[in-house]
Amino acid sequence: MAVSGPHIIIMAAGKGKRMQSQQPKVLHEVLCRPLIEHVVHMACSIPHQSVSVVVGAQDEGIRHACKAYPEVQFIRQDPPLGTGHAVLCAKDLFKDRSGDVLVLNGDVVGLSRETLEGFIQSHSRGSYSASVLSMKLENPTGYGRILRDGSQKMQGIREEKDASESERKVREVNCGIYLFAKTPLFECLGSVQQKNSQKEYYLTDVLGLLVDKNQKIEAHPISDSREALGINDRKELYEVEKFLQQRVNDALMRKGVTLRHPETIFIDPYAEIATDVEIEGNCVIARSEIGTGTRVESGCRVLGSRIGQNVHLKQGSYLEQSEVGEGSVVGPYAHLRPASKLGKNVKIGNFVEVKKAEMGEGSKASHLSYIGDAIIGKNVNLGCGFITCNYDGKNKHQTTIEDDVFVGSDSQTVAPLRVGKGAYVASGTTLTKDVPPGDLAIARTRQENKKGFAQKLQSKLQSKKGN
Ligand code: UD1
Ligand code: CA
């Protein structure tokens, strides 16, 4: 094997019939990321020469899911005729390549880096032509069985559907993770036949063919079989997700993150959560960073966001692609939509929605507001029910509110407009034009009080009702 690591092929073109789904299996998610992304991430995080993904006809979603890994190459397998055929589709791409080929099932997502690196080491130490990762299961149903002779020498792999009764009793199974020397791999793939119950070209047949050619092969047992469980239906998806969730959460707790009811908390494995963060139950945190001392109350969803230190996200808040500065408070039940950027010590209160808007240090919108397409300066107070009227039915328009502005409750800005520094907007005002710095803006009809009219009105209404 070359010092720089193997070439990696990830098989992801299968239909995944057992998922009973319109979408390709590898696009189903565990811990907030598509299966394929977990596998690609794993592949890219170990030493390697190249990473290729075999895709079928519905490849757009898979390409999109891999977009954070620009080095990934795609190989088309259409129609998918089995795992052996999937790897054979890479033959042309591999014409001028040398070294070992690590083949990964696209539906095995829990392997740790240590496991994969250990597998690669065992393979190269023994100078095998092919190695497979194996596991012993209480219930091996559904997996290909590792066949060994009387002296425990590996002879090949038998798929369950083609296995004899005694072969089915074997509890050592194929994890779907393989290392091959390149040349014998492609030679043998050329001779793989579809003569099996599924009429597919099985990659697993290559192992037996290598034995026939007196090549050295081995199955290397994994220490924790939960890492290698495949996902074929939604029950297995749940089992694997539960295992990964526990692994992620246990590691976070050991690192100094408090999780309350961790069995209800889903944090993606690559989220960055600092120490002394506290997260309550029923939260989902994906593709995000959370700074130290921050508290996330129950029922929050934090997606693609950067949360600073000592922030308080109160119950039921939903944050997407947003930034929250140090010391800010958000919620309960607030919604930060994409491109919202809160500075330090900002307060976003209950039932406030922010979209594509910046709020400067110390600014507040404490109750029931919509702040969209806006730049709000520092120390601005947006009163209860403030609304940016940003949309005219065709286009979105910007509201700018400079530092130290006070906006009274139930006010609106009919954008585009600007409120100058230190201005004061009276309650109930609908702004339709700019307010110069330091001015008071008031736009509402004057109040009139009619002496004693309440009584008269009441009796008039009463007599009408009697009629
Ligand atoms: C496969 C193995 C089995 C092993 C199990 C481990 C074969 C024949 N069997 O069975 O020995 O115990 O994995 O999880 O390989 N794929 C393609 N193109 C195809 C068919 C499949 O790219 O034509 C991809 C799938 O998208 C999937 C992977 O290959 O990511 C495995 O396919 P799957 O149908 O799940 O194989 P299993 O029946 O689980
Ligand atoms: Ca599978």
- pLDDT at position 194 is 95
Query: Rounded distance, CA 335 to CA 313, Å?
Result: 11
pLDDT in tens, 50-94: 999 999 998 999 999 999 999 999 999 999 999 999 999 999 999
Q: What three-state secondary structure class fits 270?
A: coil
The ranges of the chain with pLDDT < 70 are: 1-3, 467
**CA distance linking residue 109 with residue 245, whole number of Å:** 12
* Antiparallel, parallel or unpaired: β 73-76 and 50-55: parallel
387 CB within 6 A, ligand 1: no
Q: Whose CA is nearest to atom 29 of ligand 1?
A: 11
Could you please report the per-residue DSSP string of 92-146? TTTTT--SEEEEEETT-----HHHHHHHHHHHHHTT-SEEEEEEE-SS-TTSPEE
Instruction: Please tell me the distance between residue 232's alpha carbon and the centre of ligand 2 in angstroms.
Output: 5
Q: Which positions ≥6 away from 265 have C-beta within 8 Å?
A: 245, 249, 259, 279, 281, 282, 283, 284, 285
Question: Is ligand 1 within 6 A of the CB of residue 85?
Answer: yes
pTM, full prediction: 0.94
Q: State the distance from the centre of ligand 1 to the C-alpha of 203, rounded, in angstroms.
A: 9
Q: State if residue 88 touches ligand 1 by the CB under 6 angstroms criterion.
A: no
pLDDT for residue 466 = 75
Is the Cβ atom of 374 under 6 angstroms away from ligand 1?
A: no
Mutate to test the pocket of ligand 1, among 21, 104, 105, 172 (most ligand atoms within 8 A of CB): 105
Nearest ligand, CA of residue 107?
A: 1
pLDDT at residue 1 in the model: 44
Q: How far is CA 16 from CA 80, 105, 231, 232, 234, in A?
A: 11, 12, 9, 7, 11
Considering only CA atoms, which residue is closest to atom 19 of ligand 1?
A: 82
Q: Which residue in the list 41, 48, 367, 397 is annotated as catalytic?
A: 367
Q: For residue 24, report the distance from its CA to the centre of ligand 2, in Å.
A: 13
Q: Which ligand 1 atom minimizes the distance to the CA of 232?
A: 35
Q: How far is the CA of 355 from the centre of ligand 1 (A)?
A: 43
Give the pLDDT score at 2: 42
Any catalytic annotation for residue 335? no
Closest ligand 1 atom to 13 CA: 22
**Is 11 near ligand 1, meaning CB less than 6 Å away?**
yes
Q: Is 133 in the pocket of ligand 1 (CB under 6 A)?
A: no
Q: Which ligand is nearest to the CA of 15?
A: 1
Nearest atom (ligand 1) to Cα of 175:
6
Question: Is 128 close to ligand 1, i.e. is its CB under 6 Å away?
Answer: no
3-state per-residue secondary structure call for 165-192: HHHHCCCEEEEEEEEEEHHHHHHHHCCC
What's the pLDDT at 222?
98
Which two three-digit tokens encode residue 164? 């004899």
